[in-house]
Structure 1
């Protein structure tokens, strides 16, 4: 059995701990590795990297034994582990500002690199990183987890079956209330750096990267964007309880026009209270039917079940508009979205299977976020790519 030693940088953060370490890598270890097309199995061996020795030790010596029955390696010597000949793959889930340095360390050592998005806060830098990987013939990938969410997979199935007919429009609603730290007995749900632009935070740079690959995969390439960003909550508290001024947008509203002419509207906010089916919902309207997908579930309404409302504000609405929708059955077991892409990347490294979710595709997401920021500043339509 082959074994890949994976240097995992930034695993002490919420996403790195839960999705990448526990639900992906430790889960792969529990199942005995990843099976290749040849029937061979590839095992994984994580090496946890970061600056907080206490958190690393806990993940390695407390969390790991509960999950897989043994401890794993950890180190605060990031450069030494990346440079070690025994390290096969470098993964980064640290803050965006640190991403470029970790990617370049991996390139210098000839190591395959897999990382979270966004890969940079500037489109030019993002494309430079992608080019450097290509020039060095380094296998690389960027996390695009929402492609494998059950709800989005159900939308893709409906599209492939022709359920929608001609797609007319797409509407996405994302967000929830993120507590500021000033609210009694309500701990923070997100790191404070997310709300400081100087530290790489912001709704557009975070979520427009997701919307780019999701829209591109489901509906086609984006041609141009018109966007508006706001800082709704000007002050928050950090992890130490200290107040700070928010400098990054916490809400963003965008119209994406696709090359096909289809219009996609996406509202994204960390200052909204949820009254919809899920934290993310995507509605697709077509000539033959419509669907609304959340993270896991999907509801459909075809033309024969579409009600015939009549505008009359002088009487109570006689139609319950939820009644005409059917929830799609779950006919397969959906694995964790992050784990699915991890397995695909490991197969890519092991046997050179195609892996289109490269740093170049990640750079396209950064380009869309930068286009949105430019559109918001200058109040105009902006091309989705430079």
Structure 2
């Protein structure tokens, strides 16, 4: 077997998502698994270079990851001929919170209670532009740029330079969602009629109640609010799974007006903590979606999609998917004076994951997307989940917020240049 190295500059490697999700549960997991199968005889071996602003944090993270190389100079990383891919996971300094100790082996005087280096997302656009100028393939966290027009320009620039550009859309690589996509692709549903989705959880409220969610998410002046936080992900989920969003009606609410901040002090909430949206999808599909940080779930997962079609239905979370075909659907017996004899949940069958979810890599969702993207970068083939999707997500978010302000349904402008994504390989 031939091992082919692929160098990756990971900028924001000491942010929460950069270290935990993309390094520990993504690239490091791929390395531990022996690389990414490219062909029968060739495996890609990721070679990460950690990039950030704080030398102490970078050194500690590099040591914990097995002695990786690191630098505080982005120009050094981009000028390195061994680097093939630039990945941006820089995070907003306002979005940092105490998520607990990152590494038990790191001395308290270096990390204290949280390793999350402060990064400036305003620099993401400039860094991605510099990476393309240096001839590197690019991958970015969502959103890729502050403005949608910049994301469209970045995607076009990458294509002009014949470089592979991609966006992190990790929810598409969750087992339950991949199983649902497989059902759609194989025609299981017949004609899809409607979709109902629920997302949310209880995040704490009231004097003395410490939230398990960073307080910036409740402050509109810091970019918070559940519409900005969740709907940008729903855009790619809905449009990849079901079709183009043509219009929507959004109703937002701030159900809990005061919440404790990260220090336990009670503050006024300035952003919505719930949104109730109806999306009209091409081919007449109606999607009803509830998003809430003020709801106690009574379901198996925090995120659930219920899809009804003429030939069958499915209920999919991020990790599991259950089905009921037309032939398995029991007749409904409506008699309010007697207990219903039908145990409806027992009549659903868990969908097989063997055809929908690849056996490699496992077990983490970030492993799957990194492997998928690296195969495209190594072969210089267009990635189906491009940075244009960031622009489209921001477009849908802006329409939802405007719909809530005007209290009426609005048409969503058609996408300008969004990749049509296939099922992850």
- With normalisation by structure 2, the TM-score equals 0.80
In structure 1, how many angstroms separate the alpha carbons of the residues matched to 2:189 and 2:373? 32
1:30 matched to 2:43:
no
Report which stretch shifted further, 348-357 or 38-47: 38-47
Match of 1:60 in 2: 62
For residue 131 of structure 2, what is the aligned residue in structure 1?
106
User: Is the contact made by 1:123 and 1:370 (CA closer than 8 Å) also made in structure 2?
Assistant: no
> Which segments of structure 1 move beyond 6 Å, counting only runs of 4 or more?
none
Match of 1:366 among 394, 407, 424: 394
Q: Does structure 1 residue 44 correspond to structure 2 residue 46?
A: yes
Q: In the alignment, does 2:113 pair up with 1:90?
A: no
Q: 1:84-125 CA deviation, whole Å, 9 max, x = no partner? A: 454332211223643323323323433221011122454334
Q: Structure 1 residue 139 and structure 2 residue 169: aligned?
A: no
* Unpaired stretches in structure 2, ≥5 consecutive residues: 93-120, 415-425
Residue aligning to 1:207: 230
Answer with 82-91 or 260-269: which moved more.
82-91
1:218 to partner: Cα distance: 1.7
SS in structure 2 of the partner of residue 356 of structure 1 = coil
Q: How does 1:181-220 map to 2 (within 5 A)?
A: 183=208, 188-220=211-243
How is 1:206-285 mapped onto 2 (pairs within 5 angstroms)? 206-241=229-264, 243-285=266-308
RMSD between aligned residues: 2.7
Equivalent residues of 2:8, 2:46 under 8 A apart: yes
Q: 1:47: how far off?
A: 2.2
Secondary structure of 2:252 counterpart: strand
Residues 238 and 276 of structure 1: CA distance in aligned 2, closer, same or farther (over 3 Å):
same
Mean alpha-carbon deviation: is it higher for 125-134 or for 318-327? 125-134
Question: Is 1:162 the equivalent of 2:187?
Answer: yes
Kindly indicate whether residue 372 of structure 2 is the aligned counterpart of residue 349 of structure 1.
Answer: no
Within a 5 Å distance, the mapping from 1:311-350 to structure 2 comes to 311-331=334-354, 333=359, 335=362, 336-350=364-378
- For residue 323 of structure 1, give the secondary structure of its aligned residue in structure 2: helix
Q: 1:215 to 1:109 in 2, by over 3 A?
A: same
Could you state the TM-score of these two structures normalised by the residue count of structure 1? 0.87
Equivalent pair of 2:190/2:310 in contact (CA under 8 Å): yes
1:284 shift after superposition: 0.7
Q: 1:302 to 1:73 in 2, by over 3 A?
A: same
* Post-superposition CA distance 1:221-256 (Å, at most 9, x none): 211111122333344444455555443333222111
Match of 1:67 in 2: none
The Cα of 1:191 is off from its aligned counterpart by 3.5
Return 152-161 or 128-137, whichever deviates more: 128-137
The number of residue pairs the alignment matches comes to 378
Moved more, 233-242 or 257-266: 233-242
